[in-house]
Every structure is written in C-alpha cells, then in structure tokens.
Amino acid sequence: MARLQSRAYKLQLSEDGIELFLRCHCRLCHLVGDMLPYGTTLFIAVDLLQSCDEQDLASEMSDPALDGLGGRKVRHVGTSPILSDLIDGIFRTLAHCGPEHPVPQVWKLFLAALAHMQVIEDRKIVQTFRAMPRKTGRPPHRSNR
C-alpha cells in the first residue's frame, strides 16, 4: 500500500502560540527565499527538536513558558506523515529521561519545537530544510538559496 502524501497535525495555540508559529514560519521563508507551506515549518521545528540530546530535550519539554503558548485556538497543519516518526523518536528519547519528565501531549511537543526553533542558528535551520526531501522522500524544494 502506498504511503500517504500528507497528513494533518493538530496544534492547540494561544494568541502567543500563533505569534510564535508565524515568526518561525516567516523566518524560515526568509532564510530559504521562498514561500513555503505551514507544514514545512512544523516539520523543520520538530526535526530540529528531535536532534537535541536527551537532557536538552527534557529541558525544552519542561519549559514553563510552553503553558502560555497553548490554548483553545485549534489549527490543523498538513505535512509529511514522516513527522509521526520524528514525534515517536522524541517520545522514545523522553521515556529514557525518567518519570520526572513525563511524555507530553503532541500539541505541547509542537510548541516546544517551535520555541526551540526560534533560538536556533540560521545555518542549522537551512541545513535541516535542505535535508527534508531526503527524510520525507519528496522531491527537493525549488528554491536554490
């Protein structure tokens, strides 16, 4: 059976959470010099988060600021179903961190990923973007930047 082309992922955001998502999205678009789907931003953010070591990941997930980013504004963002594999990898890593770092809800993981993305160097974001086609099995993006 063929793999799905895309899947919708649910975000639960506050006004501040929406602002964070849009800042990350605009930054990514500027860095690669093109208009991108929102799902690309979500994928890149989660991919960046999953590359953290165990202790940094646990720290990112337990940041109290995440509570202010979550809210009642539900948005669905479509991206590669491979994102589920990245999420599962993060959950497996967190499971090794011990009971003091419980596995979060997925929407909170997305917020942690976006918060993490906003402090990552431009170079690392662009590298992760360029690696996305290899991870998703999709053709490379047309931007040459």
Q: Which residues contact 64 (CB under 8 A, 6 or more apart)?
A: none
**Domain span holding position 106:** 7-136
CA distances to 3, 13, 88, 104, 109 from 67, rounded to whole Å, are 34, 10, 22, 12, 11
Q: What is the DSSP letter of 74?
A: E
Mean pLDDT of the chain: 90
Answer yes or no: is 145 within a domain: no
Confidence tier at 129 by pLDDT (50, 70, 90): very high
Answer yes or no: is 51 within a domain: yes
- For 10, the enclosing helix (H) or strand (E) is strand 7-13
Q: Which residues contact 117 (CB under 8 A, 6 or more apart)?
A: 24, 41, 44, 45, 48, 49, 125
Answer yes or no: is 25 within a domain: yes
What pLDDT shows up at residue 104?
86
Read off the pLDDT of each residue in 117-139 and give the average, rounded to a whole number: 92
The structure's pTM equals: 0.90
Residue 144 has pLDDT above 50, yes or no: no
Q: Which residues contact 3 (CB under 8 A, 6 or more apart)?
A: 81, 137
Answer yes or no: is 143 within a domain: no
Q: Which of 145, 97, 103 is nearest to 125 (CA)?
A: 145
* Predicted confidence (pLDDT) per residue in 69-96, tens digit: 999 999 999 999 899 999 999 999 998 8
Read off the pLDDT of each residue in 89-108 and give the average, rounded to a whole number: 86
Residue 132 has pLDDT above 80, yes or no: yes
In the chain, the number of structural domains is 1
Residue 143 has pLDDT above 70, yes or no: no
Do the Cβ atoms of 80 and 138 come closer than 8 Å? yes
Answer yes or no: is 144 within a domain: no
Answer yes or no: is 1 within a domain: no
Answer yes or no: is 141 within a domain: no
Q: Among residues of the chain, what percentage have pLDDT more than 90?
A: 74
* Predicted confidence (pLDDT) per residue in 25-46, tens digit: 999 999 999 999 999 999 999 9
Answer yes or no: is 132 within a domain: yes
